[in-house]
Structure 1
Amino acid sequence: MSTPALSPAVPKPDHIPDQFVYDFDFFADEAMTKNAHARVLDIVKNAPPVFWTPRHGGHWVLASHQAVFEATRDYDHFSNSPMPYEAIQQVLESLPEGAPKPFIPAPITFDPPHHSVFRAPLNKAFSPKAMHQLKGKIRELAVSLIDAVKEKGECAFVDAISEPLPVTVFLEMFGLPVEKQRLYRDLVKEHFTNTDRDQQAITKRLRKVADVMRDTIIERRDNPQDDLLSLLWQAEFNGEKATLYDLENYAVMLFTAGLDTVVNGMALGAIHLAENPELQAELRADPEKVPQATEEILRRYTFTIPPRFMAADCDFLGAPLKKGDMALMFLPAADLDATEYPEPEKFNLEREGKAHIAFGTGIHRCLGSHLARIELNILYEEMMARLPEFRLDPDKPLVYHGGHVWGPEEVYLKWDV
């Protein structure tokens, strides 16, 4: 895979002092595509805690733990939407009857007080208790995927394991046909890897996602089953019953979030385990340490970079952010901040202190974090139990992709049989 082209650099606005400028393309930085988290460490050590980059039209990056922690709790300034809720509703109401509506992924787009209204129907479905009930199915699937490659002595890990495992679990939970897994995954990848931020282009990509689910969404309205789509049809928002438009907005959000993030998290964990045979040995000898390893892998290789949009001018930790600016919450750097995590570049199974923020923080903290942890723990447990010591294939070097979710394009593993 060739390195994507850098976005053109735009001129620096006059109000931004030079000391806040640092050139970084979170989609196509060359060093990042070769070794993503080595590049993160470089940024942590050499870039300002809050910096402005001229790439992708010019935007801010919040790289320190303090910056991310404070910004994700300040939704009066750092909004999850480029437009206030009221302005979005005015746009929707102004559309001619029958005109296609832009997608407003719910609840992630909304800030308080509207956020809680749209998140409430999902809280029970993604609760720790509900996720715990999926453990048996998740383990059965993990075992079957690992056993399918065990005797081969090698595998393309993303294609064989880290993609089908969480994607299958999600599709079954959502009520979507598992046999269309490849189609769904390709659409999500197209959405996340596309750098075109024009709203019409984004809407067009999301429409393709919604269209492949539309028949199933309507079928669940008419014939409810024990799945997430059926549950959402029973929801009410501000006293109004759910509509097809509401369901499509939910589906687009859950679909894009649920089919990509854990795939990359598993792949990053496999890389670390493959590069550290002594850790594999330790976990095989004491499987109860797997949850500790999972948490440290999540901290050391955090992989999501959610955006925020400035709702008002703000002098933030000395940086002059203006209304309308985009600011990336650079979680991979925040979790490698030495002021929060001593010797952050070191993987420490016994690390104590503050928890990582790989799943975000504040009101928009990842809804699926309980499910992700269960899937990661079970996968690592079964890899340790069923595979001999595995390693990276030296003839197939890693290549990383950037964007709002980072990860390797593929991870080629080998082991002796």
Structure 2
Amino acid sequence: MADSLVYDFDYFADEAMTQNAHNRALDIAKNAPGVFWTPRQGGHWILASHSAIFEASRDTDHFSNSPISYDDLQKILASLPEGAVKPFIPAPITFDPPQHAIYRNPLQKAFSPKAMNELKGKIRELAASLIDAVKDKGECAFVDAISEPLPVTVFLEMFGLPVERQREYRDLVKEHFSSLDRDSAAITARLRKVADVMHDTIVERRDNPKNDLISMLWQSEFNGEKATMYDIENYAVMLFTAGLDTVVNGMALGAVHLATHPELQAELRAHPEKISATTEEMLRRYTFTLPPRFLAEDYEFQGAKMKKGEMALLFLPAADLDASEYPNPENFDADREGKAHIAFGAGPHRCLGSHLARIELNILYEELMARLPEFRLDPDKPLVYHGGHVWGPEEVYLKWDV
């Protein structure tokens, strides 16, 4: 491999990333190759440029969402003895076209703009109550008090899971995403914990359906076959891990920017109609997901000779800081003109929950501006960022005058 394609970066534990994740992403966007190989985490490719990610996201023939093909997976499942524990295959995200559409279609209506707009009232009421609960204290741990319970509560209610077990669910998701053990058996064991904690609810919704996602999925068919417990567990694991982590980090990153830019807070309080555009620029400047892809065959891609089975990480935070797509990408400019951000991905696997995420982020910023005075970071509690497939601060300590 050419030395020019090797760049030392650990997306889980890079020291500069843990100090300031998006400064490190900007550094990589400026100084690393658009496609490079890192020896960290067992060695893998990282696609950092906007063009590389945009192209690979649409090329599911070469860049698969699964380390093994759908056909090979079916052979493995068929070969297992009766009663054997099956590996979890989070659906539909693990499948590539055409199977991907079969498993994604049942969710399209549930996550449509119309369906998400119907949740606005509940989301605003919840956001307001969480902010009001800390307003008189003059400070808060933002993730714990607001950015975690807001999207997680919304998701649990959509899914039909008991909201009072929120802390237990969230801890399981953190355990899964923070683990450095990527062995398939270890991953299956962690996902088994996630499935087990939902088991009683899944069975209950099968026997007594209600107006929630689990009940809806039980009514679906796949390739002409009725849904099985295995199908529902695979769905549940995917939606559970995605729904309980991503937006939490997006909100925390937005709070950091607002807390360090009092002039933006003042502008948004005076002109709340600018919040929607601000949300989009937040998503670009502080993109937080790093989804993996796997080479389906040997392939030369933008000058890099890749081998079947190798991982290629879609480094979305760097893609949204690519100067060839976004002039002066480090500048926060809500009036920025040009191409839309790629924070929700591209191609057939573009984020299913993007409509919900936008609504939650917009409403949160609206309520923060309406209900809190000017807030700032607590200087005695510095930020520490976590890496992995979703980036964000571990906690954001805010203060304001009361």
TM category, shorter: over 0.9
Question: SS of the residue aligned with 2:211?
Answer: coil
**Corresponding residue of 1:109:** 94
Taking the TM superposition and a 5 Å limit, the aligned residue runs for 1:326-405 are 326-405=311-390
CA–CA distance in structure 2, aligned partners of residues 96 and 317 of structure 1: 43
CA–CA distance in structure 2, aligned partners of residues 143 and 56 of structure 1: 42
| Deviation digits for residues 72-127 of structure 1 (CA, Å, limit 9, x no counterpart) | 00011000000000000010010000111000000000001100000000000000
Give % identity.
80
**AA at the equivalent of 1:394:** P
| Deviation digits for residues 310-362 of structure 1 (CA, Å, limit 9, x no counterpart) | 00111111011111110000000000000100100000011011000101110
Counterpart among 292, 295, 320 of residue 307 in structure 1: 292
**Corresponding residue of 1:218:** 203
Taking the TM superposition and a 5 Å limit, the aligned residue runs for 1:9-20 are 16-20=1-5
Taking the TM superposition and a 5 Å limit, the aligned residue runs for 1:3-402 are 16-402=1-387
What displacement does 1:190 show? 0.3
CA–CA distance in structure 1, aligned partners of residues 386 and 305 of structure 2: 30
CA–CA distance in structure 2, aligned partners of residues 142 and 71 of structure 1: 37
Question: SS of the residue aligned with 2:137?
Answer: coil
CA–CA distance in structure 1, aligned partners of residues 90 and 333 of structure 2: 37
**AA at the equivalent of 1:220:** R
CA–CA distance in structure 2, aligned partners of residues 49 and 196 of structure 1: 27
| Deviation digits for residues 142-179 of structure 1 (CA, Å, limit 9, x no counterpart) | 00000000000000000000000000000000000000
**AA at the equivalent of 1:323:** K
**AA at the equivalent of 2:373:** P
What displacement does 1:46 show? 1.1
What displacement does 1:57 show? 0.7
CA–CA distance in structure 2, aligned partners of residues 66 and 292 of structure 1: 24
| Deviation digits for residues 26-54 of structure 1 (CA, Å, limit 9, x no counterpart) | 00000000000001111111111100000
CA–CA distance in structure 1, aligned partners of residues 394 and 97 of structure 2: 36
Question: SS of the residue aligned with 2:281?
Answer: helix
Question: SS of the residue aligned with 1:72?
Answer: helix
CA–CA distance in structure 2, aligned partners of residues 334 and 44 of structure 1: 7
CA–CA distance in structure 2, aligned partners of residues 322 and 24 of structure 1: 20
Question: SS of the residue aligned with 1:97?
Answer: coil
Question: SS of the residue aligned with 1:189?
Answer: helix
**AA at the equivalent of 1:363:** P
Q: Give TM-score, length-normalised by structure 2.
A: 1.00
Question: SS of the residue aligned with 2:383?
Answer: coil
**Corresponding residue of 1:3:** none
CA–CA distance in structure 1, aligned partners of residues 105 and 277 of structure 2: 30
CA–CA distance in structure 1, aligned partners of residues 199 and 366 of structure 2: 37
CA–CA distance in structure 1, aligned partners of residues 106 and 57 of structure 2: 22
What displacement does 1:195 show? 1.2
CA–CA distance in structure 2, aligned partners of residues 186 and 49 of structure 1: 35
Aligned length: 402
CA–CA distance in structure 2, aligned partners of residues 93 and 20 of structure 1: 40
Question: SS of the residue aligned with 1:363?
Answer: helix
**AA at the equivalent of 1:243:** T
